[in-house]
Chain A
Amino acid sequence: MSFELFIECIKLWWDPVYSSWMFFALFLPLVILIYAISGKDRRPYVLLFSGWLFFISLSGVMFLVHIFETLLVWRMGIVLGRISEDKSLKRKERTAKKKKLLIAGIISLVAVLFVLKYLDFTGSNVVRLLNILSIPCEWRFLNIAVPVGISYFTLEGISYLTEVYWENIKPRGQYMNVALYMGFFPKLIEGPITRFSDVSDTLFSGLPVSYENLTRGYQRILLGLFKKLLIADHLAPAVDIVYKWEEKAGSVALFAAVIFTIQEYMDFAGSIDIVIGAARIFGVDLKENFRQPFFAKNASDFWHRWHITLGTFFRDYIFYPVSVNKSIMKLTKKVKDRFGAEAGRLTAPSVAIFCVWITNGIWHGPKWNYIFYGLYYFVWIFIENIAEKPFLSLLSKMKLSESSLIVRIFRFIKLFIIVITGEMFFRADSMSVGFEMFRYVFTDFNSRKLIRHLGDMGMDFHDYLTVIIAFILIIILSVLKELKVPYRKAFMSLPVFVRWTAWYALIMVIVVFGAYGSGYDAAGMIYAKF
């Protein structure tokens, strides 16, 4: 390898598309080495400075936004803690003071996120509305660079402040603790969104790199690479091509939605496997973000299994607070008095679910598609909440149990349709394209058009075959997990020769059949842009 090539490779580290590769090739092994040879007290600092270096390499000067937010969260946490312990104040006064501070903190964090990520979107839409009302004005796009992972570490900052406010955790006096919590490099780009209490025991302890953690961490990383390189990245060019929506046919629209759903799932789940594996090497156990989502029994359950940490964030910090809000309680009472107990029972959860889903849609980014996507799930979950009781009574009349095969198949098909339709709109270039694709499914399916163009989608026969076989293997693994079959224990009880052979085989399968290098475009991480 020439020096010139080496320099070019290093330069490309600055491009987030390649960051994942550089992460494995150079960054992670180097950090593990420095971490392992450092003293116990210095190890958290190794993680902190590695995270900062990683951040600077990806976002340059926008790293300062991260520093600003961590400083803000750290200081506000300390002040919140002081107020909590201020016995000179009455409880009510303390709560009121803390509440004001918490709101100020959350508003500050959200304001930074809004300016960097949503200002152009909001401004341009306001201008569009004013133009419709015949008020001439124009919006000059600011195109501000967004620091990597801002949507994730902002939520972590909010989580930290709220937990301190609720007195579930003690605020940390050392800035390093808060900075490392919000800037731990494996989870910086795509999460999982982590609670302070989940990692506080391990992250700051400077645990040594154990053989157990190292092997388990790398095994998890391999699983992630399998999902990403064999499935998601193979599908990436086909998804890009079909979503250009030049070949208009219902079959193409449906195919686009299905392959995007698989790509997104495997990309995100694979990346999270890599993140969890990398964190594990340092002795940090991050929360799982996926739990066999397609085994869910309905849309609500799906979101308990898909992007779990985002779902639990919204549950704990939006759903519950909104549900028990005084105004909502009053509304519930009014509805109950006027429309009956059942309507009253549904009021608070429905309002809370609406708040959750509109926030979920907006969180994904400044696009109407995402807002629609959030509202889409609100509607489905609302319908399911209303329909669940009648559905269960219908089942008992038909003498069918919830766990019967036919009910499970029905639920799967229903969920599949809901998810696929949602993804069709989620990935479409615009809402109008999304609706057009949806319309074509029913008005002009034309399966021949799809078959004719399967060869023009940036994937050859071998790529399709690789994706199909790899995905079947992942499905088998998911079934085993869902059935709680202790396959890992069984595997670990095999002779070392067999285990090593299996790992070598997996590595070679990834090396040979992975979508990378000549003939493939590098595919970035989908959830890194949210």
Chain B
Amino acid sequence: MITREENKNIYAGILFILILFIIWGIASLLVKPDFGEVYNIVQVTQKMDSFKDEVPDTIDVIFAGNSEVYRTFSPLQIFHETGITSYCMSESALRLCDALGLTKASFETQSPKVVVLEADAIFSDSDPHKDNYALPTNLIEDIFPIFHYHIFYKAYVPEFVFNDSVDLRTEHALRGFVQTDMAVPYTGPADYMNEGDHVRINRDSRKYLDLMREFCEEKNVPLLLTAAPNAKNWNYSKNKALQEYADKYGLDFLDLNMHVQDMGIDWNTDTMDGGNHMSFEGSKKTTAFMEEYLKENYDLTDHRGDPLYSDWEKDNEEYELYP
């Protein structure tokens, strides 16, 4: 027999939980991004904010992907040598879902002519709600996205102490490229393309790759798939998987690993971390190769001398990266 007091307590308990769910629901509505589901809301929001500093409709090429992008392609060098404007919409360990979100966001203020998607993110985790570090909380993220986007505040509260870090200062000037002085030689086998396991594009990645392709089709912008030179994480198996995808949908695919000798990559000096990312010297070679490819294959304008793009020339002079 339940007493009156116990009855009251049961109702109080249910009411407490109901109110808690309502609070979580409201908080979820407030923090869920309106540009689609992303994995790391802080990275994406900060990148979008810095990208908004660009003069509207001045960016021709969007480089999307993870750290491979901002270590491999330098927009300032491309502009300096060809007059083509570009931006690295990339962050460390960026997932494909976030690359898609950033690419979509870039079209809000700009009218890019080409989207270049670097492939490393395709062969990593791509789903916004699948997190090896937090799978159990993923269980309720769909119902209460506050558990996924709970670090949203970091994008808005400024970094008082560490805001003088090189990456943040140079974000705008270098258009997302991150310059480094580090160079750690790659000492593995020269035929690294034969190494590694057989891989396929997993289901999550394929889903976001399809979404990226469909978005570019909708915007009537060519999607160029590329793979940065990577002696640690790239091989023929990945090349084949991506080539098949590109062939199936009539996309361009430029695997820079197949042109390592053409570019003159020296694995002793051109990688910053033993083969995974390009060093600054390496990035000069890969960027030069990519800009030639863009120039030859797409109808892109040389903006050098145009007063609207004077910032680009000023930034190059200030940072003295490309004399």
Interface residues of A (CB under 8 A from B): 1, 5-6, 8-9, 12-13, 18, 21-22, 25-26, 211, 214-215, 454-455, 460-462, 464, 500, 503-504, 507-508, 511-514, 516-522
Q: Which residue from A26, A215, A454 sits with its C-beta under 8 Å from B161? A: A454
Contacts of A13 in B (CB 8 A): 136
Interface string of B35-48 (1 = CB under 8 A from A): 00001111000000
Q: Which residue from B23, B39, B151 sits with its C-beta under 8 Å from A504? A: B23
Contacts of B150 in A (CB 8 A): 511-514, 517
Q: Is the CB of A6 within 8 A of B159?
A: no
Q: Is the CB of A460 within 8 A of B9?
A: no
Measured in the bound complex, the distance between the Cα atoms of B146 and A511 in whole Å is 8
Give 29 CB contacts A-B under 8 Å: A1-B138, A1-B139, A1-B143, A5-B129, A9-B135, A9-B138, A21-B134, A21-B137, A25-B137, A211-B9, A454-B161, A455-B165, A461-B159, A462-B153, A464-B161, A500-B16, A504-B19, A504-B23, A511-B24, A511-B146, A513-B150, A514-B150, A518-B40, A518-B131, A518-B133, A518-B134, A519-B40, A521-B133, A522-B133
Contacts of B138 in A (CB 8 A): 1, 5, 9
- For chain B, the bracket of interface size reads 35 or more
Q: Is the CB of B6 within 8 A of A211?
A: yes
Beyond known contacts A5-B139, A517-B150, A522-B133: 17 more, CB 8 A cutoff: A5-B135, A9-B135, A9-B139, A13-B136, A22-B136, A25-B136, A25-B137, A26-B136, A214-B13, A462-B154, A504-B19, A511-B27, A511-B147, A514-B150, A517-B141, A518-B131, A519-B151
Contacts of A22 in B (CB 8 A): 136
Which of B266-305 touch A at CB < 8 Å? none
Q: Check A9/B136 contact, CB under 8 A, given A454-B162, A519-B40.
A: yes
Contacts of A507 in B (CB 8 A): 20
Nearest Cβ in chain A — how far from B22, in angstroms?
A: 10
Q: Is the CB of B148 within 8 A of A517?
A: yes
Q: Check A520/B134 contact, CB under 8 A, given A25-B139, A454-B162, A455-B161.
A: yes
Specify the chain B residue showing the minimal Cβ separation from A17: B133
Measured in the bound complex, the distance between the Cα atoms of B135 and A522 in whole Å is 10
Q: Is the CB of B137 within 8 A of A462?
A: no
Measured in the bound complex, the distance between the Cα atoms of B138 and A9 in whole Å is 8
Contacts of B153 in A (CB 8 A): 462, 512
Measured in the bound complex, the distance between the Cα atoms of B136 and A517 in whole Å is 9
Nearest Cβ in chain A — how far from B9, in angstroms?
A: 4
Measured in the bound complex, the distance between the Cα atoms of B133 and A9 in whole Å is 11
Q: Is the CB of B136 within 8 A of A520?
A: no
Q: Does B140 contact A (CB under 8 A)?
A: yes
Q: Does B142 contact A (CB under 8 A)?
A: yes
Nearest Cβ in chain A — how far from B77, in angstroms?
A: 27
Contacts of B148 in A (CB 8 A): 517-518
Q: Is the CB of B130 within 8 A of A461?
A: no
Measured in the bound complex, the distance between the Cα atoms of B150 and A21 in whole Å is 17
Interface string of B108-126 (1 = CB under 8 A from A): 0000000000000000000
Specify the chain A residue showing the minimal Cβ separation from B158: A461
Closest 6 CB pairs of A and B: A211-B9, A21-B136, A455-B162, A517-B134, A461-B159, A9-B135
Nearest Cβ in chain B — how far from A227, in angstroms?
A: 18
Q: Check A1/B142 contact, CB under 8 A, given A214-B13, A512-B153, A516-B137.
A: yes
Q: Does B308 contact A (CB under 8 A)?
A: no
Nearest Cβ in chain B — how far from A509, in angstroms?
A: 11
Contacts of B130 in A (CB 8 A): 5, 8
Contacts of B16 in A (CB 8 A): 500, 503
Contacts of A514 in B (CB 8 A): 150
Contacts of B6 in A (CB 8 A): 211
Measured in the bound complex, the distance between the Cα atoms of B166 and A455 in whole Å is 12
Specify the chain B residue showing the minimal Cβ separation from A19: B136
Q: Does B249 contact A (CB under 8 A)?
A: no
Nearest Cβ in chain B — how far from A214, in angstroms?
A: 7
Q: Is the CB of A500 within 8 A of B19?
A: yes
Residue with the highest number of chain B CB atoms closer than 10 Å, among A500, A514, A517: A517
Q: Check A517/B159 contact, CB under 8 A, given A5-B138, A511-B150, A512-B150.
A: no
Q: Does B157 contact A (CB under 8 A)?
A: yes
